[in-house]
Amino acid sequence: MHPLITPAALAELLATDHPPVVLDVRWRLAGPPAKADYDRGHLPGAVFIDLDADLSATPGPLGRHPLPGAEHLQHVLRAAGVSAGRPVVAYDAGDGSVAARLWWLLRWAGHREVAVLDGGYAAWTAQGHPVTAEVPAVQAGDITVEPGHLPVLDAEQAGKWAREALLLDARAPERYRGEVEPIDPAAGHVPGAVNAPFSGHIGPDGTWRGAAELAARFRELGVAEGKPVGAYCGSGVTASSVVLALEVAGVTTPEAPAALYAGSWSNWSADPSRPIATGAQPG
């Protein structure tokens, strides 16, 4: 399954006898809770998944959105109707940066048939597709979560990759440079990391850029064949969209994916002994 799906293609699938599971993962960093958006209107049949409660472990030294435990994630996914062999489509408000977290988790858990809705809820409604406030009745799924199907970096590995391979920082440039830090204990970036803001994946119309355009962007950032690449962000959420974008671009493959530093800056900056670089250069 291609990692992105258009609203038109999803609408066709929803009209078949075997529709995919659709999961609404809208979320806001600073609130209010996005569940209210779901209650007002969502894609037909969509089930709401909460990033903080469902797709993350308890915040702490490992970061603001640590990876959930396998048992917890399996419970969440089964309750949402996810089963082995049944495709899943995740969507957020628009740019796919949050939906990519669920895409990544499903792939990490061994479920290959998953895609992110290109343009999210905004594109779906802009193209005139129906929405509803009706909460669907869900038949429990049978997915078995088997962690480890995508590579994960810890802080020590991330620091090494930034020096010896390529580590992409998906945050906004001003956070990368250390000019502002609204959330985490310290400002700056992992020494050696290259800034690759996730917003660069999205075109002017709010949908994802094409494979060739993304591939050219990643080449400019230093991505090269045979060179290991990893990604991080503030808390490991939007960095998932970098992993997805690399696959869309054809730079990586499902068999040789990019690595994710899941703890990201919220983990790195929690330890004052770790080095920090500032400014526009990797350092």
pLDDT single digits (tens) 182-199: 999 999 999 999 999 999
pLDDT at 122 > cutoff 80: yes
What's the whole-number mean pLDDT along residues 45-70? 96
Q: Which ranges of 188-257 does DSSP label H, i.e. alpha helix? A: 211-220, 239-248
pLDDT at 29 > cutoff 90: no
Quick check: is 149 catalytic? no
Cα–Cα dist 54/68, whole Å = 8
pLDDT score, position 70: 98
Closest listed residue to residue 28, CA positions, set 98, 117, 76: 98
Backbone angles phi, psi at 164, to 5 degrees: -110, -15
Cα–Cα dist 246/252, whole Å = 6
pLDDT score, position 54: 97
**Residue 74 confidence class, pLDDT cut points 50, 70, 90:** very high
Pairing label, strands 88-91, 166-169? unpaired
What predicted TM-score, i.e. pTM, was given to this entire model? 0.97
Q: To 10 degrees, what angle do helices 211-220 and 239-248 make?
A: 120
Look over the chain and give the mean of its residue pLDDT values, rounded to a whole number. 97
pLDDT at 33 > cutoff 90: no
The catalytic residue among 25, 233, 258, 259 is 233
Inter-residue long-range contacts of 269-272, CB under 8 Å, 24+ positions, other chains counted: 269/181, 269/184, 269/185, 269/186, 269/188, 270/61, 270/63, 270/184, 270/185, 271/61, 271/155, 272/185, 272/186
Closest listed residue to residue 218, CA positions, set 234, 233, 208, 229: 229
pLDDT at 67 > cutoff 90: yes
pLDDT score, position 63: 95
Q: What percent of the chain has pLDDT over 70?
A: 100
pLDDT score, position 225: 87
Q: What percent of the chain has pLDDT over 90?
A: 97
**Residue 31 confidence class, pLDDT cut points 50, 70, 90:** confident
Burial class (CB in 10 A: 0-12, 13-18, 19+), 275: exposed
